[in-house]
């Protein structure tokens, strides 16, 4: 993916929709002055740029000197945010609560303590209704300040009640924070390493999980406590390749939103991530009926106003929905049909390049390569895998390793044997260095090294031997990892039967799902 511009103002301007740009200009012109109209010219100049260029910007705004540009940009940045706050406040509970808290402070500064306290009571009620306990804490601090500095007589025993409320909210936030930290640390481990490679990895993750999981889970009664608990268990199960537990906790993750539907609008990104993980769990379990049911739910949600009217929600939903759409073709063996998605997704990745992290690019490129490999287009397989191999990002060492292995097999299919001798040594060294060599990979490397000396007419018995060996590893917890990234069993069966890989996978799918397909 191309490098993203690092200029924050440029990124903000480019993120605006037409309606938001129009509202910004109306907002500025309401209190227009010479200085304010200057920032509209600056805004228009940045808006017309494809890439940020400071020299070009100064050339287009001759009334702004170079030494004034930094201040002008900072002022424009603040004005854009102020205009966005006005049009987005009504649809965002935390912005609304912030606004109400601002009103309470203004009334307090006017000396209207009792009016301020009335607003604070309303904020507390709303904060509890929407599970916004961090706001509740701010309100309680403010209430304590008013009661400590002024004799309001607003409520008998108010000091005791405030102290009790403060203790309860603090305990709740501390408990929620510990679960949130655990979830984030586990997700971070996965992003860096992928699935557990061996017993040592699994033990390290298990020790960390047990050490940081709060002891008294009876306190886990609120929405956010449950959300972060189910996330933690989901990541823990996924890393350890316990896909059944991964499914159960991903389902619980989605279910808490179904029980409190208003939270979908407040924590939309977490709901999207939950649907993504539930789809991933059903994909890993090859549970096609449930996968399709969840995919249809996700597609319907993707068309909702909650997603369409929020850029962040829309981009995140696009990424996860289309990962699952590609996975559907992996499950049912329709790789060639899945290739129709590639140009559309690539176009969107370019459109969203300012907002996507490198990890998403890696995942999509690997999935594109797998689609091409399954449909027998090894040239394009190599093209997309090369993007991963030459990408200098310290993320997903598992994907880096399996991209190299699939790249090697694609060259084998093309008969590039002169290149392969070098590639085998290079890939083997890389995977060994990353601690990523399992018994399955060792066997694959042994076969590829030996294949140079075997005549084409005698290669099939060697394929059969390798297939039989690898089948003995299919139920080994740490060997299934290799099969999850690369369906080597189906590839070997395709070589023995002289048919495309996707035909083998399609045949297996139809045997598993005759009723669903019918």
**Who contacts 234 (Cβ-Cβ below 8 Å, separation ≥6)?**
246, 249, 250, 253, 277, 281
Structure tokens at 142: 């403010």
> For residue 172, what pLDDT band results from cuts at 50, 70 and 90?
very high
Q: What is the pLDDT of residue 149?
A: 81
Whole-prediction pTM: 0.83
Q: What is the pLDDT of residue 35?
A: 61
The CA distance from 465 to 488, in Å, is: 13
Q: Which of 226, 119, 196, 180 is nearest to 397 (CA)?
A: 196
pLDDT digits (tens, 9 = 90+) for 378-404: 999 999 999 998 887 666 677 888 889
Helix (H, G, I), strand (E, B) or coil at 206: helix
Taking each helix axis from N to C end, the angle separating 113-129 and 133-149, rounded to the nearest 10 degrees, works out to 160
Q: What is the pLDDT of residue 451?
A: 82
pLDDT digits (tens, 9 = 90+) for 456-504: 778 889 899 999 998 888 888 777 767 777 788 999 999 999 999 999 9
How many alpha carbons lie under 13 Å from residue 359 in its C-beta half-sphere?
Answer: 14
Domain architecture of the chain: domains with CATH: 8-90 (no CATH), 92-155 (no CATH), 358-518 (1.25.40)
Q: Which of 371, 391, 389, 390 is nearest to 380 (CA)?
A: 371
pLDDT digits (tens, 9 = 90+) for 221-244: 999 999 999 999 999 999 998 999
Structure tokens at 312: 């962040």
Q: Are 127 and 97 in contact (CB under 8 A)?
A: yes
The CA distance from 221 to 202, in Å, is: 29
């Amino acid at each position: 993916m191309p490098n993203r511009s690092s200029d924050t103002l440029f990124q903000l301007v480019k993120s605006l929709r037409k309606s938001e740009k129009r509202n910004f200009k109306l907002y500025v012109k309401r209190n227009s002055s010479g200085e304010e109209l200057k920032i509209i010219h600056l805004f228009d100049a940045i808006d017309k740029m494809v890439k940020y260029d400071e020299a070009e910007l100064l050339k287009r705004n001759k009334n702004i000197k170079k030494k004034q540009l930094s201040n002008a940009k900072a002022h424009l940045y603040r004005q854009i945010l102020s205009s966005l706050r006005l049009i987005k406040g009504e649809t965002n509970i935390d912005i609304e609560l912030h606004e109400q808290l601002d009103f309470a402070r203004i009334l307090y500064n006017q000396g209207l303590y009792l009016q301020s306290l009335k607003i604070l009571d309303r904020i507390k009620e709303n904060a509890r209704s929407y599970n916004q306990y961090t706001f509740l804490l701010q309100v309680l601090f403010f209430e304590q300040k008013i009661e400590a500095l002024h004799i309001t007589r607003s409520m008998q025993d108010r000091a005791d009640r405030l102290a009790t409320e403060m203790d309860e909210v603090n305990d709740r936030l501390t408990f929620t924070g510990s679960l949130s930290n655990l979830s984030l640390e586990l997700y971070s481990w996965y992003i860096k390493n992928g699935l557990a490679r061996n017993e040592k990895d699994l033990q390290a993750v298990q020790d960390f999980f047990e050490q940081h999981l709060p002891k008294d889970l009876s306190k886990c009664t609120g929405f956010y406590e449950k959300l972060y608990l189910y996330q933690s268990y989901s990541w823990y199960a996924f890393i350890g390749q316990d896909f059944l537990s991964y499914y159960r906790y991903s389902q619980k993750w989605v279910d808490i939103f179904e029980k409190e539907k208003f939270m979908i609008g407040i924590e939309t990104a977490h709901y999207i991530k939950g649907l993504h993980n539930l789809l991933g769990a059903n994909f890993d379990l090859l549970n096609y009926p449930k996968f399709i049911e969840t995919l249809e739910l996700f597609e319907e949600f993707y068309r909702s106003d909650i997603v369409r009217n929020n850029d962040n929600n829309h981009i995140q939903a696009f990424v996860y929905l289309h990962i699952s759409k590609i996975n559907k073709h992996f499950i049912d063996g329709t790789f060639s049909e899945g290739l129709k998605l590639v140009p559309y997704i690539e176009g969107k990745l370019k459109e969203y390049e300012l907002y996507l992290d490198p990890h998403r690019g890696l995942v999509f490129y690997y999935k594109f390569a797998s689609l091409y490999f399954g449909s027998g287009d090894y040239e394009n397989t190599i093209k997309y895998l090369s993007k991963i191999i030459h990408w200098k990002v310290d993320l997903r060492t598992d994907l880096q390793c399996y991209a190299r292995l699939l790249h090697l097999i694609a060259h084998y299919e093309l008969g590039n044997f002169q290149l392969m001798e070098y590639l085998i040594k290079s890939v083997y060294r890389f995977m060994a260095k990353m601690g990523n060599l399992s018994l399955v990979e060792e066997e694959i490397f042994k076969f590829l090294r030996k294949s140079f000396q075997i005549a084409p007419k005698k290669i099939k018995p060697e394929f059969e031997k390798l297939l039989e060996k690898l089948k003995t590893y299919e139920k080994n917890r740490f060997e299934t990892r290799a099969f999850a990234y690369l369906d080597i069993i189906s590839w070997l069966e395709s070589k023995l039967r002289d048919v495309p890989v996707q035909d083998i996978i399609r045949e297996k799918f139809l045997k598993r799902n005759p009723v669903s397909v019918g």
